[in-house]
Amino acid sequence: MMLNIFKKNFLIYGFGLSGQSCFNFLNVNNFIKIYDDNSNKILKKYDKFLINKNKLNDYYFDYIIVSPGINIKKCYLKNFLLKNKDKLISELDIFYTAYKNNKKITVTGTNGKSTTVKLIHDFLKKAKKDVRLVGNIGKPALNEKNISKKTIFVIEASSYQIEYSKYFRSDISAILNLSPDHLERHENYSNYVDAKFKLIKNQENRGISIINKNEKLIFERLKKNKILGKILKLNLSSKVYFLNKITNNYFNNLSNLDNLKFAFSIAKIFKIKTELILNVVNSFKALPYRQEILFNSKKLRIINDSKSTSFSSSISLLSSYKNIYWILGGLVKQGDKFELPKRYFKNIKAYIYGKNNLIFQKQLKNKIKFKKFNNIKEALNSILKDAKKNKDKKTIIFSPAAASFDQFENFEKRGSYFNSIIKQTKFINTLNV
């Protein structure tokens, strides 16, 4: 089944990065209207394409492209979208139709997506492939230029992006891990898993899916569905045979090592030489605010993990180091729970910031000692005082385990703010002794 994107009528709902990329790509041979809940923020040059909510039924639309961030059950166009649900498609569907014959590698999961796709991209680039890193990492696929038949797309896909897609297929798909996330959107964990599983469910005969052999919920769905593609079961407990040659501290923690194993399994499909892979791994730099090591010495380690928006995303760091000063706070996601194994509790002191500290207190009570503060700066100042007394190596981890929207527009601005505070304070000079 193919999508026809030539001389069709499109409604684009949501005019962020995704909506704009679809518009620019389709605005040649098609009729397009735009609707956005905040139309006053759209540039005047698009005025003639904007449509009023009350005028939607005056037009016939072949397809309705819904931006990933829109929940069709709770938006302004709820009734209209539900009535036209069979017409809903995603940016991924447009992309797939445009570049059907190009090789596509798609990575999803709850945590570690960005790191994994960046590793895959760097492996392929080192092997001199024409490779593009796109998707949820912040680069709409439809914005890419100079695409040839040999171009390979490495795609980070969120549950939001996959949920509305109907036509998208990936040559190689990977589901890294699963834990409850975005339940305010998906309503329950089962729906969230179903959204991720669509990558495998929609595979074609030539497709390959890579999954964690211990991911029970995926295997339950494999038994209930006829899968056309090949399934590769990855054993994350097995050692990477070149592990002793990895010198990059970034891969000292388990989650990043798991991400590497997924990336390595895909590199093997492309027959990339181990020496090239090692070269990439040992020179690899973390993406900003994703378990990013800001400073590391014999006495002090500082990690910025502002991207962490759930307890599960913080656990890998909390279980990888000793003598941890953990800064957390923000808007806790629906259904999220702190499930760190008990053996790690004694290694951690928690510093909770923000107005929602009662939720964090409830999760940490009788598990980890904590203090509470109004903001990040206050928490850091307290750590400065507490850590002075500690002569062993200290690890300060900024891993909020919650969304940023209580105090920051996004995790990037939250991470940038943390970095600025570190630079302004005497942390490194005071504690690195």
Mind listing the pLDDT tens digit for each residue in 20-53? 999 999 998 899 999 998 888 788 899 999 999 9
**Confidence band, pLDDT 50/70/90 cuts, at residue 238:** confident
pLDDT at 403: 92
pTM to 2 decimal places? 0.89
DSSP 188-254: SHHHHHHHHHHHHHT--TT-EEEEETT-HHHHHHHHHS---SEEEEE-TTSPPTTGGG---GGGGSH
Q: For the residues 261-286, what does the mean pLDDT come to?
A: 95
Query: Are the C-beta atoms of residues 305 and 286 closer than 8 Å to each other?
Result: no
241 pLDDT more than 90: no
Q: For the residues 167-171, what does the mean pLDDT come to?
A: 95
Q: pLDDT above 70 covers what percent of the chain?
A: 100
363 pLDDT more than 80: yes
Q: For the residues 381-394, what does the mean pLDDT come to?
A: 90
- Cα first-last separation, the chain: 64
Of the CA atoms within 13 Å of residue 138, those in its CB half-sphere come to: 7
180 pLDDT more than 80: no
Helices and strands: H and E segment counts in the chain: 15, 16
**Digit-coded pLDDT (tens) for 298-313:** 999 999 999 999 998 9
As a whole number of Å, the CA-based R_g of the chain is 23
Q: What is the mean pLDDT of the chain?
A: 92
pLDDT at 19: 94
Q: pLDDT above 90 covers what percent of the chain?
A: 72
1 pLDDT more than 70: no
Distances (CA, A) of 131 to 88, 163, 257: 29, 25, 23
pLDDT at 147: 96
The tokens for 358 are 């009662």
**Confidence band, pLDDT 50/70/90 cuts, at residue 393:** very high
Domains along the chain with CATH numbers: 9-89 (3.40.50.720), 93-283 (3.40.1190.10), 292-431 (3.90.190.20)
Query: Are the C-beta atoms of residues 212 and 234 closer than 8 Å to each other?
Result: yes
The tokens for 160 are 């939001």
pLDDT at 10: 96
pLDDT at 121: 98
pLDDT at 196: 93
Name residue, tokens 């991720």.
Answer: 196
433 pLDDT more than 70: no
Q: How far is residue 60's CA from residue 336's CA, in Å, rounded to a whole number? A: 42
**Digit-coded pLDDT (tens) for 343-355:** 999 999 999 999 8
